[in-house]
């Protein structure tokens, strides 16, 4: 080898050593962190834990009440990291600062999607949410319990806005909560009560969530849901019997229809029809969903293990996915990640791009589609038996358990029916 070649080789080796040395420096300090998203004029705090930092791939665990969500950290060179946010096709791109803090941005990985970009900062060793230690104000009331939430309608709205339900658990100035609507729930929220004001936030991989309110002199509450410039305004009255509209009465088939029929490609491009021999004489569960939808993911975490335990009983299931792009290759990527992460053993079909009247166009027999996810139960005779709108996750406690109890009872009855 010539001298020039040796010099070039040595220089390249030194540069590579320097690159990997710098890349190794892009690690996060183990332990609890506090981050803050900047959403318009609002600061939305969140907490997470960093672990496995000793020469292994690090993991960030988002903390929201009793809920934990894990995300993998990847060094992408020098002082930069990328954190993939599981199935949501979003990620953090952040820089590790000299003091150990990070600054970065959360953005969509969907080509051409420039919406929902959030900047954030995060610091290690801080575990508080809103109220900094030593600056708390004694709460004027304890708002633990169930609340009926009335939404202030848009003046231009032509239909009434359904009520929501909030469930809070307050200990001192710390509060955990969740807000349920006909389309699903907010996922777990965490925050503080300071004087007559309260604030809760949440981050589980999708968009950051924020609820801010005030405890009024008459015992009611009022405030806003959402971190955008125009939050959803609400008032709330404590009500131990607060409940949502019956989720089985919101979406239904149009008059004259008893059955569904459709044909869509699976993640490998094979055309699959509900009229295929595979589904005849079976109880079939159809889940209208998307990998981008937090409540859909929560529903998957229920349905995937349930199906594995019961598929030998003459049950089939289909995840009917509406994704962020009308592109089968894109959908194959997103749905394969979903399938592998949750060990989904039922069919996943790609129905097209989410948005507009997509469901009405692809499934014309369905009337008043309101929410992702929506679950359709078909009996052994091929007829639609039930349609359930939305999904309330484990964090909703009683509401989730009531759903599970009814699900198991209804499915047991349908499974027990004789073959037609």
pLDDT digits (tens, 9 = 90+) for 108-146: 998 888 878 999 999 999 999 999 999 999 999 999 999
Q: What is the DSSP string of 26-64?
A: --PPSEEEEEEEEETTEEEEEEEEEE--SSS--EEEEEE
Which numeric CATH code is attached to 3-124? 2.40.128.120
Which numeric CATH code is attached to 145-238? 2.40.128
User: For residue 345, what pLDDT is reported?
Assistant: 97
pLDDT in tens, 367-387: 999 999 999 999 999 999 999
pLDDT level of residue 398 (50, 70, 90 thresholds): very high
pLDDT level of residue 10 (50, 70, 90 thresholds): very low
Span of 8-12, 91-95, 279-283 with lowest mean pLDDT: 8-12
Span of 45-54, 65-74, 142-151 with lowest mean pLDDT: 45-54
Mean pLDDT of the chain: 91
Q: What distance in Å separates the CA atoms of residue 79 and residue 94, rounded to the nearest whole number?
A: 8
Q: Smallest Cα–Cα separation from 287: which of 390, 415, 378, 373?
A: 373
Q: Which residues does residue 93 pair with via DSSP β-bridges, in sequence order? A: 82, 105
Unique residue bearing structure tokens 């499915």 = 411
pLDDT in tens, 65-78: 999 999 999 988 88
Kindly report the pTM of this predicted structure.
0.89
Span of 49-53, 393-397, 403-407 with lowest mean pLDDT: 49-53
pLDDT in tens, 228-249: 888 999 999 999 999 999 999 9
User: Taking 60 as the threshold, does the pLDDT of residue 86 lie above it?
Assistant: yes
Q: Mutual orientation of helices 294-310 and 328-342 as an angle, nearest 10°? A: 60
pLDDT in tens, 204-235: 999 999 999 999 999 999 999 998 888 999 99
Q: What distance in Å separates the CA atoms of residue 59 and residue 278, rounded to the nearest whole number?
A: 41
- Per-domain residue ranges of the chain: 3-124, 145-238, 252-416
pLDDT level of residue 20 (50, 70, 90 thresholds): very low
CA angle 171, 172, 174 (to 5 degrees): 65
First CA to last CA across the chain, in angstroms?
A: 80
User: For residue 21, what pLDDT is reported?
Assistant: 39
How many Å is the maximal CA-CA distance in the chain? 88
Cα 187 off chain centre by: 7
User: For residue 4, what pLDDT is reported?
Assistant: 41
> Could you name the CATH architecture of 252-416?
3-Layer(aba) Sandwich (3.40)
Identical fold, 3-124 and 145-238: yes
User: Taking 50 as the threshold, does the pLDDT of residue 23 lie above it?
Assistant: no
């Amino acid at each position: 080898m010539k001298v020039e070649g040796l010099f070039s080789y040595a220089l390249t080796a030194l540069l590579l050593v320097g690159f990997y040395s710098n890349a190794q420096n892009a690690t996060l300090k183990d332990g609890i962190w506090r981050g803050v998203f900047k959403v318009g004029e609002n600061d939305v705090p969140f907490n997470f834990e960093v672990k496995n930092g000793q020469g292994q791939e690090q993991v960030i665990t988002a903390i929201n009440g009793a809920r934990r969500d894990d995300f993998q950290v990847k060094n992408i060179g020098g002082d930069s990291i990328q954190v993939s946010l599981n199935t949501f096709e979003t990620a953090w791109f952040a820089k590790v600062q000299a003091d150990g803090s990070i600054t970065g941005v959360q953005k969509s990985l969907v080509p051409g999607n420039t919406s929902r970009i959030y900047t954030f900062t995060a610091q290690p060793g801080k575990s508080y949410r809103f109220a900094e230690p030593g600056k708390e104000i004694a709460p004027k009331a304890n708002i633990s319990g169930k609340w009926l939430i009335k939404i202030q309608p848009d003046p231009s709205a032509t239909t009434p806005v359904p009520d929501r339900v909030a469930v809070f658990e307050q200990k001192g100035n710390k509060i955990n909560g969740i807000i349920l609507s006909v389309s699903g729930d907010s996922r777990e929220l965490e925050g503080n009560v300071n004087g007559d004001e309260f604030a809760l936030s949440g981050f589980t991989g999708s968009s950051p969530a924020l609820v801010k309110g005030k405890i009024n002199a008459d015992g009611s509450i009022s405030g806003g849901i959402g971190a955008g410039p125009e939050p959803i305004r609400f008032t709330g009255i404590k009500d131990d019997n607060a409940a949502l509209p019956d989720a089985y009465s919101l979406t239904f088939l149009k008059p004259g229809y008893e059955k569904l029929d459709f044909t869509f490609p699976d993640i490998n491009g094979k055309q699959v029809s509900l009229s295929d021999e595979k589904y005849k004489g079976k109880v079939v569960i159809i889940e209208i969903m998307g990998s981008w939808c937090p409540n859909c993911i929560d529903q998957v975490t229920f349905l995937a293990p349930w199906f594995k335990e019961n598929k030998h009983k003459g049950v089939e299931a289909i995840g009917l996915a509406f994704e962020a792009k009308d592109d089968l290759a894109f959908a194959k990527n997103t749905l394969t990640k979903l399938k592998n992460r949750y060990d989904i053993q039922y069919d996943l079909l790609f129905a097209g791009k989410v948005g507009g009247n997509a469901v009405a166009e692809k499934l014309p027999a369905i009337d008043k589609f309101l929410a992702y996810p929506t679950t359709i139960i078909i009996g052994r005779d091929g007829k639609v038996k039930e349609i359930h709108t939305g999904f309330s996750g484990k964090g909703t406690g009683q509401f989730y358990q009531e759903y599970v109890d009814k699900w198991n009872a209804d499915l047991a009855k349908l499974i027990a029916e004789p073959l037609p």
